Chains A and B, each alone.
Chain A
Amino acid sequence: MHATNEQLLEIIDGEQCEMSQHVSSCDHCQITLTELKSFESDIGLQMFSAADRVPSDDVWEKIQSSLDQEHLDSNRLDPQADISQQLSNVHPLVAAPQHSLSRPIYALAASIAFVGLISIFMFSQQQNNQLQTQIMQASLNELMLNSRGLEHVLQKVADQNLALTVANQKAADRLYWRLTYVDQLINQASPDNTERMEVLWNDRIEALNELNQIYYQQESTLNASEI
Protein backbone atom coordinates (compact mmCIF):
# COMPACT_ATOMS: atom_id res chain seq x y z
CA MET A 1 0.00 0.00 0.00
CA HIS A 2 1.44 3.35 -1.10
CA ALA A 3 1.56 6.59 0.85
CA THR A 4 -1.41 8.96 0.60
CA ASN A 5 -1.23 12.50 -0.68
CA GLU A 6 -1.42 13.81 2.87
CA GLN A 7 1.40 11.57 4.06
CA LEU A 8 3.57 12.64 1.14
CA LEU A 9 2.88 16.29 1.96
CA GLU A 10 3.96 15.65 5.55
CA ILE A 11 7.23 14.22 4.23
CA ILE A 12 7.69 17.28 1.97
CA ASP A 13 7.19 19.49 5.05
CA GLY A 14 9.99 17.57 6.76
CA GLU A 15 7.76 15.75 9.21
CA GLN A 16 8.21 12.10 10.14
CA CYS A 17 5.24 9.85 9.47
CA GLU A 18 4.65 6.12 9.63
CA MET A 19 5.08 5.81 5.84
CA SER A 20 8.46 7.58 5.72
CA GLN A 21 10.39 4.33 5.57
CA HIS A 22 8.15 2.86 2.92
CA VAL A 23 8.40 6.00 0.75
CA SER A 24 12.19 5.96 0.90
CA SER A 25 12.27 2.42 -0.49
CA CYS A 26 9.27 2.50 -2.88
CA ASP A 27 9.88 3.68 -6.44
CA HIS A 28 6.23 4.50 -7.07
CA CYS A 29 6.00 6.65 -3.98
CA GLN A 30 9.30 8.35 -4.81
CA ILE A 31 7.99 9.39 -8.21
CA THR A 32 4.70 10.63 -6.75
CA LEU A 33 6.63 12.52 -4.07
CA THR A 34 8.81 14.29 -6.64
CA GLU A 35 5.81 15.21 -8.77
CA LEU A 36 3.88 16.48 -5.77
CA LYS A 37 6.82 18.51 -4.54
CA SER A 38 7.18 20.16 -7.92
CA PHE A 39 3.45 20.74 -8.23
CA GLU A 40 3.22 22.24 -4.74
CA SER A 41 5.90 24.82 -5.38
CA ASP A 42 4.41 25.64 -8.80
CA ILE A 43 0.99 26.14 -7.32
CA GLY A 44 2.40 28.63 -4.80
CA LEU A 45 3.83 30.67 -7.67
CA GLN A 46 0.66 30.50 -9.73
CA MET A 47 -1.56 31.46 -6.83
CA PHE A 48 0.68 34.40 -6.02
CA SER A 49 0.77 35.53 -9.68
CA ALA A 50 -2.99 35.28 -9.98
CA ALA A 51 -3.58 37.41 -6.90
CA ASP A 52 -0.73 39.90 -7.23
CA ARG A 53 -2.55 43.18 -7.85
CA VAL A 54 -2.11 46.84 -7.09
CA PRO A 55 -4.83 48.61 -5.07
CA SER A 56 -6.64 51.53 -6.63
CA ASP A 57 -5.31 55.01 -5.92
CA ASP A 58 -8.26 56.18 -3.86
CA VAL A 59 -7.86 53.58 -1.06
CA TRP A 60 -5.32 55.72 0.80
CA GLU A 61 -7.59 58.75 0.56
CA LYS A 62 -10.45 56.70 1.99
CA ILE A 63 -8.23 55.53 4.86
CA GLN A 64 -7.26 59.11 5.65
CA SER A 65 -10.83 60.36 5.62
CA SER A 66 -11.87 57.43 7.86
CA LEU A 67 -9.14 58.35 10.33
CA ASP A 68 -10.28 61.98 10.34
CA GLN A 69 -13.84 60.88 10.89
CA GLU A 70 -12.79 58.59 13.77
CA HIS A 71 -10.91 61.48 15.39
CA LEU A 72 -13.96 63.73 15.12
CA ASP A 73 -16.24 61.03 16.51
CA SER A 74 -13.99 60.34 19.48
CA ASN A 75 -13.91 64.07 20.33
CA ARG A 76 -17.69 64.26 20.06
CA LEU A 77 -18.07 61.30 22.43
CA ASP A 78 -15.67 62.75 25.01
CA PRO A 79 -16.13 66.55 24.98
CA GLN A 80 -14.33 66.96 28.30
CA ALA A 81 -11.21 65.39 26.82
CA ASP A 82 -11.41 67.79 23.94
CA ILE A 83 -11.81 70.82 26.20
CA SER A 84 -8.92 69.77 28.42
CA GLN A 85 -6.84 69.17 25.32
CA GLN A 86 -7.68 72.67 24.08
CA LEU A 87 -6.88 74.11 27.49
CA SER A 88 -3.55 72.32 27.55
CA ASN A 89 -2.77 73.97 24.23
CA VAL A 90 -3.56 77.40 25.71
CA HIS A 91 -1.70 77.27 29.01
CA PRO A 92 -0.08 74.42 30.87
CA LEU A 93 -1.29 75.65 34.28
CA VAL A 94 -4.88 75.97 33.16
CA ALA A 95 -4.64 72.58 31.55
CA ALA A 96 -4.57 70.71 34.82
CA PRO A 97 -8.03 69.16 34.70
CA GLN A 98 -10.28 69.64 37.69
CA HIS A 99 -10.89 65.94 38.24
CA SER A 100 -7.17 65.34 38.77
CA LEU A 101 -7.33 67.48 41.99
CA SER A 102 -10.69 66.32 43.19
CA ARG A 103 -9.55 62.71 43.32
CA PRO A 104 -6.86 63.22 46.02
CA ILE A 105 -9.26 65.48 47.96
CA TYR A 106 -11.88 62.73 47.98
CA ALA A 107 -9.24 60.21 48.99
CA LEU A 108 -8.09 62.44 51.87
CA ALA A 109 -11.65 63.01 53.09
CA ALA A 110 -12.38 59.31 52.94
CA SER A 111 -9.25 58.43 54.93
CA ILE A 112 -10.08 61.10 57.59
CA ALA A 113 -13.60 59.69 57.92
CA PHE A 114 -12.20 56.21 58.20
CA VAL A 115 -9.72 57.17 60.94
CA GLY A 116 -12.54 59.00 62.81
CA LEU A 117 -14.80 55.96 62.71
CA ILE A 118 -12.02 53.71 63.93
CA SER A 119 -11.28 56.10 66.85
CA ILE A 120 -14.95 56.21 67.88
CA PHE A 121 -15.14 52.44 67.76
CA MET A 122 -11.96 52.05 69.85
CA PHE A 123 -13.18 54.62 72.39
CA SER A 124 -16.56 52.94 72.81
CA GLN A 125 -14.82 49.58 73.12
CA GLN A 126 -12.60 50.97 75.87
CA GLN A 127 -15.63 52.43 77.67
CA ASN A 128 -17.37 49.08 77.55
CA ASN A 129 -14.32 47.32 78.97
CA GLN A 130 -14.07 49.80 81.83
CA LEU A 131 -17.74 49.36 82.66
CA GLN A 132 -17.37 45.61 82.60
CA THR A 133 -14.38 45.77 84.95
CA GLN A 134 -16.26 48.03 87.35
CA ILE A 135 -19.21 45.61 87.48
CA MET A 136 -16.90 42.66 88.13
CA GLN A 137 -15.06 44.56 90.84
CA ALA A 138 -18.36 45.42 92.56
CA SER A 139 -19.40 41.77 92.43
CA LEU A 140 -16.04 40.76 93.90
CA ASN A 141 -16.35 43.31 96.70
CA GLU A 142 -19.73 41.87 97.56
CA LEU A 143 -18.29 38.35 97.69
CA MET A 144 -15.44 39.51 99.93
CA LEU A 145 -17.93 41.19 102.24
CA ASN A 146 -20.03 38.03 102.50
CA SER A 147 -16.94 35.99 103.13
CA ARG A 148 -15.85 38.27 105.97
CA GLY A 149 -19.33 38.07 107.51
CA LEU A 150 -19.35 34.29 107.39
CA GLU A 151 -15.85 34.14 108.81
CA HIS A 152 -16.93 36.38 111.67
CA VAL A 153 -19.90 34.12 112.45
CA LEU A 154 -17.66 31.03 112.28
CA GLN A 155 -15.21 32.65 114.67
CA LYS A 156 -18.00 33.24 117.18
CA VAL A 157 -19.23 29.66 116.95
CA ALA A 158 -15.74 28.24 117.17
CA ASP A 159 -15.09 30.32 120.29
CA GLN A 160 -17.80 28.39 122.11
CA ASN A 161 -15.46 25.32 122.00
CA LEU A 162 -18.15 22.94 121.07
CA ALA A 163 -17.05 19.31 121.18
CA LEU A 164 -17.63 17.95 117.67
CA THR A 165 -18.34 14.32 116.87
CA VAL A 166 -15.52 12.42 115.26
CA ALA A 167 -17.17 12.50 111.84
CA ASN A 168 -17.92 16.24 112.08
CA GLN A 169 -14.42 16.94 113.31
CA LYS A 170 -12.96 15.19 110.27
CA ALA A 171 -15.27 17.10 107.96
CA ALA A 172 -14.39 20.37 109.71
CA ASP A 173 -10.68 19.62 109.39
CA ARG A 174 -11.07 18.98 105.66
CA LEU A 175 -12.95 22.26 105.27
CA TYR A 176 -10.27 24.19 107.20
CA TRP A 177 -7.61 22.72 104.90
CA ARG A 178 -9.68 23.69 101.94
CA LEU A 179 -10.09 27.21 103.32
CA THR A 180 -6.36 27.53 103.86
CA TYR A 181 -5.68 26.32 100.35
CA VAL A 182 -8.18 28.77 98.82
CA ASP A 183 -6.64 31.61 100.82
CA GLN A 184 -3.24 30.69 99.44
CA LEU A 185 -4.61 30.76 95.90
CA ILE A 186 -6.26 34.13 96.56
CA ASN A 187 -2.94 35.53 97.71
CA GLN A 188 -1.14 34.18 94.65
CA ALA A 189 -3.76 35.29 92.11
CA SER A 190 -3.46 38.61 90.31
CA PRO A 191 -6.00 41.17 91.53
CA ASP A 192 -6.60 42.24 87.89
CA ASN A 193 -7.85 38.75 87.07
CA THR A 194 -11.31 39.43 88.39
CA GLU A 195 -12.87 36.30 86.93
CA ARG A 196 -10.39 34.04 88.77
CA MET A 197 -10.79 36.03 91.98
CA GLU A 198 -14.55 35.67 91.74
CA VAL A 199 -14.28 31.87 91.50
CA LEU A 200 -11.86 31.68 94.45
CA TRP A 201 -13.97 33.92 96.67
CA ASN A 202 -17.02 31.84 95.83
CA ASP A 203 -15.08 28.72 96.90
CA ARG A 204 -14.10 30.41 100.13
CA ILE A 205 -17.73 31.35 100.85
CA GLU A 206 -18.83 27.80 100.15
CA ALA A 207 -16.24 26.34 102.55
CA LEU A 208 -17.21 28.82 105.26
CA ASN A 209 -20.89 28.02 104.79
CA GLU A 210 -20.25 24.31 105.17
CA LEU A 211 -18.15 24.87 108.32
CA ASN A 212 -20.85 27.03 109.82
CA GLN A 213 -23.39 24.33 109.00
CA ILE A 214 -21.32 21.70 110.87
CA TYR A 215 -21.09 23.89 113.97
CA TYR A 216 -24.79 24.79 113.90
CA GLN A 217 -25.78 21.13 113.53
CA GLN A 218 -23.60 20.26 116.56
CA GLU A 219 -25.11 23.13 118.61
CA SER A 220 -28.66 22.14 117.79
CA THR A 221 -27.94 18.47 118.70
CA LEU A 222 -26.53 19.55 122.08
CA ASN A 223 -29.52 21.78 122.82
CA ALA A 224 -31.90 18.94 122.02
CA SER A 225 -30.11 16.50 124.35
CA GLU A 226 -30.13 19.09 127.23
CA ILE A 227 -33.90 19.52 126.90
Chain B
Amino acid sequence: MHLKIMHATNGSVQHQRFQIQVSNEVLKKAIRGDRDAHSVLYQTYSNAVYTLAFGICGSQQCAEDVLHNTYIKLLNKLPSFEGRAPLGMWLRQIAVNESLMYLRKHKKHKAVISSDEYDYIEGYQDSDEAYPASAIDFTKQLDSQNDMTCLLNKLPEDMRLVLWLKEVEGYTHNEIATLVNKTPSYSKSVVSRALQFLRARMTQHDEINYSVGEH
Protein backbone atom coordinates (compact mmCIF):
# COMPACT_ATOMS: atom_id res chain seq x y z
CA MET B 1 0.00 0.00 0.00
CA HIS B 2 2.77 2.31 1.01
CA LEU B 3 4.50 1.49 -2.26
CA LYS B 4 1.36 2.25 -4.26
CA ILE B 5 0.92 5.68 -2.69
CA MET B 6 4.59 6.45 -3.32
CA HIS B 7 4.25 5.06 -6.79
CA ALA B 8 1.43 7.41 -7.63
CA THR B 9 3.34 10.46 -6.54
CA ASN B 10 6.88 9.41 -7.28
CA GLY B 11 7.00 10.79 -10.79
CA SER B 12 6.72 14.24 -9.35
CA VAL B 13 8.56 13.99 -6.00
CA GLN B 14 11.85 15.13 -7.44
CA HIS B 15 10.02 17.53 -9.73
CA GLN B 16 8.08 18.99 -6.80
CA ARG B 17 11.30 19.59 -4.89
CA PHE B 18 12.54 21.82 -7.70
CA GLN B 19 9.14 23.51 -7.93
CA ILE B 20 9.38 24.85 -4.37
CA GLN B 21 9.40 28.63 -4.51
CA VAL B 22 11.32 30.98 -2.27
CA SER B 23 9.84 34.37 -1.38
CA ASN B 24 10.60 37.38 -3.54
CA GLU B 25 12.27 39.03 -0.60
CA VAL B 26 14.72 36.15 -0.20
CA LEU B 27 15.34 36.13 -3.92
CA LYS B 28 16.06 39.88 -4.02
CA LYS B 29 18.39 39.58 -1.06
CA ALA B 30 20.15 36.62 -2.67
CA ILE B 31 20.62 38.62 -5.88
CA ARG B 32 22.16 41.43 -3.83
CA GLY B 33 24.59 38.90 -2.34
CA ASP B 34 23.07 38.40 1.10
CA ARG B 35 24.67 35.33 2.71
CA ASP B 36 21.61 34.42 4.78
CA ALA B 37 19.45 34.41 1.65
CA HIS B 38 22.02 32.22 -0.07
CA SER B 39 21.76 29.83 2.84
CA VAL B 40 17.96 29.71 2.45
CA LEU B 41 18.38 28.82 -1.22
CA TYR B 42 20.79 26.08 -0.26
CA GLN B 43 18.47 24.63 2.35
CA THR B 44 15.53 24.72 -0.07
CA TYR B 45 17.09 22.98 -3.04
CA SER B 46 20.26 21.19 -1.92
CA ASN B 47 18.55 17.80 -1.37
CA ALA B 48 16.98 17.88 -4.82
CA VAL B 49 20.27 18.80 -6.48
CA TYR B 50 22.21 16.22 -4.50
CA THR B 51 19.72 13.46 -5.34
CA LEU B 52 19.74 14.43 -9.02
CA ALA B 53 23.53 14.34 -9.16
CA PHE B 54 23.68 11.05 -7.24
CA GLY B 55 21.07 9.55 -9.55
CA ILE B 56 22.96 10.57 -12.66
CA CYS B 57 26.55 9.87 -11.57
CA GLY B 58 26.01 7.18 -8.94
CA SER B 59 28.59 8.28 -6.39
CA GLN B 60 28.66 10.42 -3.30
CA GLN B 61 31.84 12.19 -4.35
CA CYS B 62 30.32 13.16 -7.69
CA ALA B 63 27.08 14.29 -6.08
CA GLU B 64 28.96 16.55 -3.64
CA ASP B 65 31.12 18.01 -6.39
CA VAL B 66 28.09 18.67 -8.59
CA LEU B 67 26.19 20.21 -5.68
CA HIS B 68 29.16 22.44 -4.88
CA ASN B 69 29.69 23.57 -8.49
CA THR B 70 25.97 24.02 -9.11
CA TYR B 71 25.59 26.40 -6.18
CA ILE B 72 28.73 28.34 -7.07
CA LYS B 73 27.35 28.79 -10.58
CA LEU B 74 23.87 29.64 -9.32
CA LEU B 75 25.11 32.33 -6.94
CA ASN B 76 27.39 33.82 -9.59
CA LYS B 77 24.63 33.81 -12.21
CA LEU B 78 21.88 34.96 -9.88
CA PRO B 79 22.12 38.69 -10.83
CA SER B 80 21.26 37.70 -14.42
CA PHE B 81 18.20 35.65 -13.35
CA GLU B 82 15.18 37.14 -15.15
CA GLY B 83 12.49 35.06 -13.49
CA ARG B 84 11.04 33.69 -16.75
CA ALA B 85 11.13 30.17 -15.29
CA PRO B 86 10.89 29.20 -11.60
CA LEU B 87 14.24 29.48 -9.84
CA GLY B 88 14.18 25.78 -8.95
CA MET B 89 13.80 24.72 -12.57
CA TRP B 90 16.61 27.07 -13.56
CA LEU B 91 18.73 25.48 -10.84
CA ARG B 92 17.80 21.99 -12.07
CA GLN B 93 19.06 22.88 -15.52
CA ILE B 94 22.37 24.07 -14.05
CA ALA B 95 22.61 20.87 -11.99
CA VAL B 96 21.97 18.64 -15.02
CA ASN B 97 24.61 20.52 -17.02
CA GLU B 98 27.08 20.25 -14.16
CA SER B 99 26.41 16.50 -13.89
CA LEU B 100 27.02 16.12 -17.62
CA MET B 101 30.26 18.05 -17.31
CA TYR B 102 31.33 15.89 -14.41
CA LEU B 103 30.66 12.72 -16.39
CA ARG B 104 32.62 14.04 -19.36
CA LYS B 105 35.56 14.99 -17.15
CA HIS B 106 35.57 11.67 -15.29
CA LYS B 107 34.84 9.26 -18.10
CA LYS B 108 36.47 6.36 -16.27
CA HIS B 109 34.81 7.16 -13.00
CA LYS B 110 32.91 4.27 -11.39
CA ALA B 111 30.75 4.44 -8.34
CA VAL B 112 32.00 2.80 -5.17
CA ILE B 113 28.98 0.74 -4.23
CA SER B 114 30.26 -0.57 -0.94
CA SER B 115 30.90 2.92 0.36
CA ASP B 116 27.42 4.03 -0.70
CA GLU B 117 25.85 1.06 1.02
CA TYR B 118 27.75 1.92 4.16
CA ASP B 119 26.51 5.53 3.99
CA TYR B 120 22.99 4.28 3.48
CA ILE B 121 23.10 2.08 6.57
CA GLU B 122 24.58 4.95 8.57
CA GLY B 123 21.86 7.27 7.26
CA TYR B 124 19.17 4.89 8.42
CA GLN B 125 20.77 4.51 11.81
CA ASP B 126 20.98 8.30 12.28
CA SER B 127 17.48 9.11 11.06
CA ASP B 128 14.59 8.47 13.44
CA GLU B 129 11.90 9.24 10.89
CA ALA B 130 13.09 6.79 8.29
CA TYR B 131 13.94 4.10 10.78
CA PRO B 132 11.98 0.93 9.93
CA ALA B 133 9.54 -0.57 12.40
CA SER B 134 11.23 -3.96 12.52
CA ALA B 135 14.46 -5.65 11.62
CA ILE B 136 12.71 -7.54 8.81
CA ASP B 137 11.43 -4.29 7.26
CA PHE B 138 14.90 -2.82 7.59
CA THR B 139 16.46 -5.80 5.81
CA LYS B 140 13.85 -5.74 3.07
CA GLN B 141 14.28 -2.02 2.45
CA LEU B 142 18.04 -2.29 2.51
CA ASP B 143 17.93 -5.22 0.09
CA SER B 144 15.67 -3.39 -2.32
CA GLN B 145 17.79 -0.23 -2.10
CA ASN B 146 21.00 -2.12 -2.67
CA ASP B 147 19.55 -4.17 -5.49
CA MET B 148 18.54 -1.09 -7.37
CA THR B 149 21.82 0.70 -6.60
CA CYS B 150 23.76 -2.32 -7.85
CA LEU B 151 21.64 -2.63 -10.95
CA LEU B 152 21.92 1.05 -11.77
CA ASN B 153 25.65 0.90 -11.30
CA LYS B 154 25.79 -1.86 -13.87
CA LEU B 155 24.26 0.43 -16.49
CA PRO B 156 26.62 2.42 -18.72
CA GLU B 157 26.86 6.06 -17.64
CA ASP B 158 25.05 7.42 -20.71
CA MET B 159 22.20 4.95 -20.26
CA ARG B 160 21.86 5.74 -16.58
CA LEU B 161 21.81 9.48 -17.32
CA VAL B 162 19.09 9.19 -19.98
CA LEU B 163 17.02 6.82 -17.83
CA TRP B 164 17.21 9.11 -14.81
CA LEU B 165 16.23 12.20 -16.79
CA LYS B 166 13.29 10.38 -18.36
CA GLU B 167 11.93 8.30 -15.48
CA VAL B 168 12.71 10.47 -12.45
CA GLU B 169 13.06 14.05 -13.65
CA GLY B 170 10.30 13.71 -16.26
CA TYR B 171 12.29 15.10 -19.18
CA THR B 172 10.88 14.41 -22.66
CA HIS B 173 12.89 12.58 -25.30
CA ASN B 174 13.30 15.82 -27.22
CA GLU B 175 14.71 17.61 -24.16
CA ILE B 176 17.09 14.74 -23.45
CA ALA B 177 18.19 14.68 -27.08
CA THR B 178 19.05 18.39 -26.90
CA LEU B 179 20.97 17.91 -23.66
CA VAL B 180 23.10 15.02 -24.83
CA ASN B 181 23.40 16.34 -28.37
CA LYS B 182 21.73 13.29 -29.93
CA THR B 183 18.39 12.54 -31.62
CA PRO B 184 15.11 11.78 -29.81
CA SER B 185 15.27 8.30 -31.35
CA TYR B 186 18.55 7.72 -29.53
CA SER B 187 16.91 8.67 -26.24
CA LYS B 188 13.92 6.38 -26.91
CA SER B 189 16.15 3.49 -27.82
CA VAL B 190 18.37 3.96 -24.74
CA VAL B 191 15.38 4.09 -22.38
CA SER B 192 13.89 1.01 -24.00
CA ARG B 193 17.12 -0.98 -23.68
CA ALA B 194 17.72 0.18 -20.10
CA LEU B 195 14.21 -0.86 -19.06
CA GLN B 196 14.61 -4.23 -20.75
CA PHE B 197 17.91 -4.77 -18.94
CA LEU B 198 16.50 -3.82 -15.54
CA ARG B 199 13.34 -5.82 -16.06
CA ALA B 200 15.26 -8.94 -16.97
CA ARG B 201 17.57 -8.60 -13.97
CA MET B 202 14.79 -7.84 -11.54
CA THR B 203 12.65 -10.75 -12.76
CA GLN B 204 15.66 -13.04 -12.41
CA HIS B 205 16.29 -11.71 -8.89
CA ASP B 206 12.64 -12.21 -7.89
CA GLU B 207 12.72 -15.79 -9.17
CA ILE B 208 15.87 -16.56 -7.16
CA ASN B 209 14.37 -15.02 -4.02
CA TYR B 210 11.16 -16.96 -4.56
CA SER B 211 12.96 -20.30 -4.95
CA VAL B 212 15.14 -19.57 -1.87
CA GLY B 213 11.99 -18.78 0.12
CA GLU B 214 10.39 -22.10 -0.90
CA HIS B 215 13.23 -24.10 0.58
In-complex Cβ contact of A60 among B13, B42, B167, B168 (8 A): B42
Q: Do B167 and A55 touch (CB < 8 A)?
A: no
B196 contacts partner chain A, Cβ-Cβ < 8 Å:
yes
Chain B residues within an 8 Å CB radius of A52: 47, 51
Q: Mark B51-72, 1 if CB is under 8 A from A, else 0.
A: 1001100001001100110011
A138 contacts partner chain B, Cβ-Cβ < 8 Å:
no
A42 contacts partner chain B, Cβ-Cβ < 8 Å:
yes
Q: How far is the CA of A41 from the CA of B199 in the complex (A)?
A: 12
Q: Are A53 and B75 also in contact (CB < 8 A) when A45-B10, A48-B51 are? A: no
Main secondary structure on B side of the interface with A? helix
In-complex Cβ contact of B188 among A10, A41, A47 (8 A): A10
Chain A residues within an 8 Å CB radius of B54: 51, 53
**Size class of the contact patch on chain B:** 35 or more
Q: Do A5 and B195 touch (CB < 8 A)?
A: yes
Q: B residues 180-196 with Cβ under 8 Å of A?
A: 188-189, 191-192, 195-196
Q: Which residues of A line the B interface, CB within 8 A?
A: 4-6, 9-10, 13, 36, 39-56, 59-60, 62-64, 66-67, 70
Q: Can you name the residue of chain B whose Cβ is closest to the Cβ of A6?
A: B192
B163 contacts partner chain A, Cβ-Cβ < 8 Å:
yes
B77 contacts partner chain A, Cβ-Cβ < 8 Å:
no
Q: Can you name the residue of chain B whose Cβ is closest to the Cβ of A5?
A: B192
5 pairs of A and B residues whose beta carbons are closest in the complex: A51-B55, A45-B10, A44-B167, A6-B192, A50-B148
Min C-beta distance of A3 to chain B, whole Å: 11
Min C-beta distance of A13 to chain B, whole Å: 8
Q: How far is the CA of A198 from the CA of B156 in the complex (A)?
A: 93
Chain B residues within an 8 Å CB radius of A41: 7, 10-11
B135 contacts partner chain A, Cβ-Cβ < 8 Å:
no
Q: Do A43 and B198 touch (CB < 8 A)?
A: yes
